[in-house]
Amino acid sequence: MTAMLNVKDLRAYYGQVQALHGLNFSLNEGSLTTLLGANGAGKTTTLRAICNMVRSTGAIEFDGKPIGTRSTENVVRLGIAHVPQGRGTFTTMTVEENLQLGAITRTDKKNIVADIERMYDHFPKLKERYSQQAGTLSGGEQQMLAVARALMLRPRLMLLDEPSFGLAPLIVRDLFRILGKINREEKVTILVVEQNAQLALELADQAHVIETGRIVMSGNAKDIANNEDVRKSYLGY
Amino acid sequence: MELFANQILAGIATGAIYACMALAVVMIYQAIDHLNFAQGEMAMFSTFVSWQLMQWGVPYWGAFVLTVAFSFAAGIAIERLLFKPLAKAPVLTNVAGFIALYAIINSVAGLIWDFTIKQYPTPFGSSPFLGSQLISTHQAGMIGITLLMLLLLFFFFRFTRVGLAMRAAASLPESARLVGINTSWMIALGWGMAAAIGSVAGMMIAPVVFLEPNMMLGVLIYGFAAAVLGGLSSPFGAVMGGFLVGIFENLVGTYIPGVGNELKLPIALALIIIVLVVKPAGLFGRAIVKRV
């Protein structure tokens, strides 16, 4: 397996405040990796730095090419979909328009219609509500829509920022099951940031634990889940 | 009764122009959250350009199309050169920018074409429309052109990919970037379209108010009133506001003694204040609720 995304010595800043202090990690093609850590550890910042939404230094390589200087939209155009915290739903637009927006950079117009149908297969609730304003969907449905919108890009890498946030446990299970399916069947590499460590470790094959802007632990998700010290000190369960 | 119908129709005709100006203002407001005080001057300058083209012998509709294209390009240029660098600047810096733009365009137009009032032709003539004394052919043409333009805009925003991308960029810039939309160019495109819409309004109203550098001052204030009345967050509201203000202005001028032509403008200003106090989001606007 080759590394699809390579992050070296990543440092990020909000004004004068440094939020990341030299992160190093890489994602293998086809992997499902989770980034764990407490509030304020720098998980969201890491995702935002990959998409150049926050000032950062260090090297970020995608397919061996540096992407650190690209604008957010040009990073996305490489096939990196980012489901932001709070989902970023276009609330005043319909469900279907949200899906079309996910594919707005694609030129293969013929396949877009088929892809929208495919999303409705993954998420039947969205089909029922396709003409409804996205803001009227429940939190769970909006998260489904956000994932579906990201998939409409036909991404090679998908970044998800706390997809479980504010959702009922059953819905989180459902969502994670779909993420696993997408990773296996559509070969989308996934990096998911989570506070729900237990569930994320069940889903992922790789995990990194981050604390105050540094990676303190990396490895196989199962090993980390089984390591009692790590669980107690960093994951709190 | 005839007078009443006449005033309503005349109100719709001028209201169409206010609707265009309001729409232009709202398009830029949606994109960058600022009111473009220079919108009227941009439209005035465009109208002068079309007049100059006609002086050089270009036929009316040729000049019309060239002017719309020129305005579109000029709108984009203004955004790229002046307001893109100010995008992250404080509100007051932007306001200063708009006022400067207003003054510059006004003076340059006066410098090139001087301040004397000029006749401006109408392609529709000014005979009674369909033999009716209620409305002139120019007024009917004004309404027709505006409705056609609004219809085209509606289809553009509703059914094209660029229209969808522009709406997305205006409603949630960050999410728009995350689906790969170049929001910066969407803003520039919005400026171009607003300038083009304004130029149509200018060319349509010029036969009525005559051509001179200050011709759009009153029109823009009515446009602001329309945008505020309809709601700055709603393009549809801005258009409805335009027609309502046009009708309202005419009826008040006709039926309330002592108002006449002189007090029409203060009434538009009073309307802005009343709406802002009573219903700040406007008739069709949505109150902005921020989750914290």
For residue B167, the chain A residues in CB contact (below 8 A) are 93
Between chains, do B177 and A104 touch, taking CB under 8 Å as contact? no
Residue B288 has pLDDT above 70, yes or no: no
Between chains, do A101 and B172 touch, taking CB under 8 Å as contact? no
For residue B284, the chain A residues in CB contact (below 8 A) are none
- Token pair of B167 as six digits: 């709406």
> A201 with A217: CB under 8 angstroms?
no
Angstroms from A135 CA to nearest CA on chain B? 13
Q: Closest residue of B to A77, CA-based?
A: B180
- Token pair of A213 as six digits: 């802007």
What pLDDT, on the 0 to 100 scale, is given for residue B128? Answer: 79
Tens-digit pLDDT profile for residues B208-251: 999 999 999 989 999 999 999 998 888 899 999 999 999 998 88
Between chains, do A92 and B183 touch, taking CB under 8 Å as contact? no
DSSP for residue A70: S
Mean pLDDT is lowest, of B10-19, B260-269, B281-290, for B281-290
* CB-based contact, A97 to chain B, within 8 Å: yes
Residue B292 binned pLDDT confidence (cut-offs 50, 70, 90): very low
For residue B182, the chain A residues in CB contact (below 8 A) are 71, 73
3-state secondary structure string across chain B: CHHHHHHHHHHHHHHHHHHHHHHHHHHHHHHHCCCCCCHHHHHHHHHHHHHHHHHCCCCHHHHHHHHHHHHHHHHHHHHHHHHCCCCCCCHHHHHHHHHHHHHHHHHHHHHHHCCCCECCCCCCCCCEHHHCCCCEHHHHHHHHHHHHHHHHHHHHHHHCHHHHHHHHHHHCHHHHHHCCCCHHHHHHHHHHHHHHHHHHHHHHHHHHHCECCCCHHHHHHHHHHHHHHHCCCCHHHHHHHHHHHHHHHHHHHHHCCCCCCCCHHHHHHHHHHHHHHHCCCCCCCCCCCCCC
For residue A91, the chain B residues in CB contact (below 8 A) are 171
Q: Of all residues in chain A, what percent carry a pLDDT higher than 90?
A: 67
Between chains, do A105 and B175 touch, taking CB under 8 Å as contact? no
Count Cβ atoms below 10 Å from residue B268 Cβ, excluding itself. Answer: 22
What pLDDT, on the 0 to 100 scale, is given for residue A94? Answer: 93
> B61 with B51: CB under 8 angstroms?
no
Dist CA B47 CA B53 (whole Å): 10
Nearest to B160 by CA among B197, B193, B200: B193
Dist CA B263 CA B261 (whole Å): 6
Q: What kind and span of H or E run contains A100?
A: helix A95-102
Rg (CA), chain B: 19
ipTM for the assembly: 0.90
Interface test with A, best of B160, B167, B178 (most A CBs within 10 A): B178
Give the nearest partner residue to B178 out of A72, A93, A97, using CB atoms: A72
The one-letter amino acid at B283 = L
Q: Whole-model pTM?
A: 0.88
Q: CB-based burial of residue B152 (10 Å sphere; 0-12 exposed, 13-18 middle, 19+ buried)? A: exposed
Residue B253 has pLDDT above 70, yes or no: yes
Residue B291 has pLDDT above 70, yes or no: no
Task: State phi, psi for B39 to the nearest 5 degrees.
Answer: -55, -45
List residues of B whose CB lies inside 8 A of any A CB. 161, 164-165, 167-168, 171-172, 174-183
Rounded to 5°, the CA angle A106-B75-B199 comes to: 115
> A95 with A132: CB under 8 angstroms?
yes
Between chains, do A88 and B174 touch, taking CB under 8 Å as contact? yes
Residue B108 binned pLDDT confidence (cut-offs 50, 70, 90): very high
Between chains, do A101 and B168 touch, taking CB under 8 Å as contact? yes
> What average pLDDT is seen over chain A?
91
From chain A residues 157-196, the ones with a CB under 8 A of any chain B CB are none
Tens-digit pLDDT profile for residues A140-196: 899 999 999 999 999 999 999 999 988 888 889 989 999 999 999 989 999 999 988
Give the nearest partner residue to B164 out of A53, A82, A97, using CB atoms: A97
SS3 A73: helix
Dist CA B91 CA B79 (whole Å): 16
Angstroms from A202 CA to nearest CA on chain B? 28
Residues forming beta bridges with residue A195, ordered by sequence position: none
Between chains, do B183 and A77 touch, taking CB under 8 Å as contact? no
Dist CA A36 CA B11 (whole Å): 64
Angstroms from A157 CA to nearest CA on chain B? 13
What pLDDT, on the 0 to 100 scale, is given for residue B290? Answer: 52
Token match 């203000």: residue? B245
Angstroms from A99 CA to nearest CA on chain B? 10
What pLDDT, on the 0 to 100 scale, is given for residue A176? Answer: 92
Between chains, do A73 and B181 touch, taking CB under 8 Å as contact? yes
Angstroms from B165 CA to nearest CA on chain A? 7
Nearest to B276 by CA among B35, B38, B24: B35
Nearest to A43 by CA among A195, A180, A189: A195
Between chains, do A104 and B180 touch, taking CB under 8 Å as contact? yes
Q: Closest residue of A to B233, CA-based?
A: A92
Dist CA A50 CA B76 (whole Å): 31
